[in-house]
Amino acid sequence: MYILWFLCVSFWFQTDRFEEARHKMVTDQLAKRGIKEKSVLEAMRKVPRHLLVPESQKDNAYLDRPLPIGQGQTISQPYIVALMTEQIHPEKDMKVLEIGTGSGYQAAVLAELVKEVYTVEIVSELGKKAKSDLKELGYENVSVKIGDGYQGWAEHAPYDAIIVTAAPEEVPKPLLDQLKEGGRMIIPVGPVGQTQELLLVEKIDGEIKKTKKSLVRFVPFTRSPQAD
């Protein structure tokens, strides 16, 4: 009986501790740095980032920095996730494609904001883990595919928006093709191992318009050997 009571209290304490850290993250790291979109702040106040990062990183989940997520990959710091999410102007009726599922955190943030999320991950261990974690957290509007995101996910195209969370040297052509007219894509582009430019890519009257947003550092966009 005493043990049960102890477990309940410590579980409550842990939950409370993470919630407090998350709210502080939204205020100090996002709102104070200029993230204005209320729905994005709200979504990031809600998504339990500590349950999507590896157990060893749980206590670091709400810190202002990128974190290792296994397989040599990293999840961006919360501010970059917020910045990219805000750039696509999320709306409740949108269908969004993400390339680079990683931990599933960005997908979960999107799932709070839009109707359908399709996300592609090239490292199968990461994709499988994210898929089961997202299911466990109850995100039923997210579909995860293991594959080379260079090809996008043609079956569900066109997309209102695309978020790419690994850095290719150029914007992949299939992603441009799968972007809806009037759609927005946010993508870090640049040479491997160097600082990249975060680009907003818009399709306006069939024309592609690129706007530089800021300098960022993402893991490289890899290609599967059998891909073209």
Nearest Cα to Cα of residue 65 among 25, 34, 97? 25
The Cα–Cα gap between 193 and 138 comes to 36
The Cα–Cα gap between 77 and 33 comes to 13
Q: Does 123 bind ligand SAH (CB under 6 A)?
A: yes
Question: Which of 86, 112, 133, 148 is in the footprint of ligand SAH by CB under 6 A?
Answer: 148
Nearer CB in complex with ligand SAH: 11/221: 221
Amino acid code (one letter) for 70: G
Q: Does 152 bind ligand SAH (CB under 6 A)?
A: no
Q: Does 75 bind ligand SAH (CB under 6 A)?
A: yes
Question: Which of 35, 126, 162, 179 is in the footprint of ligand SAH by CB under 6 A?
Answer: 126
Q: Which residues contact 7 (CB under 8 A, 6 or more apart)?
A: none
Specify whether 76 is catalytic. Answer: yes
The Cα–Cα gap between 26 and 43 comes to 10
Extract the tokens encoding 21: 């850290």
Q: Does 112 bind ligand SAH (CB under 6 A)?
A: no
What is the pattern of x (binds ligand SAH, CB under 6 A) and - over residues 205-224? --------------x-xxx-
Q: Does 166 bind ligand SAH (CB under 6 A)?
A: yes
Q: 55-78 in b/e burial notation, b at 16+ Cβ within 10 A?
A: eebbeebbeeebbebbeebbbbbb
Active-site residue list: 76
Q: Using CB under 6 A as the criterion, which residues of the chain lie in contact with ligand SAH when the complex forms?
A: 69, 73-75, 99-100, 102-103, 105-106, 120-123, 126, 148-150, 165-166, 219, 221-223
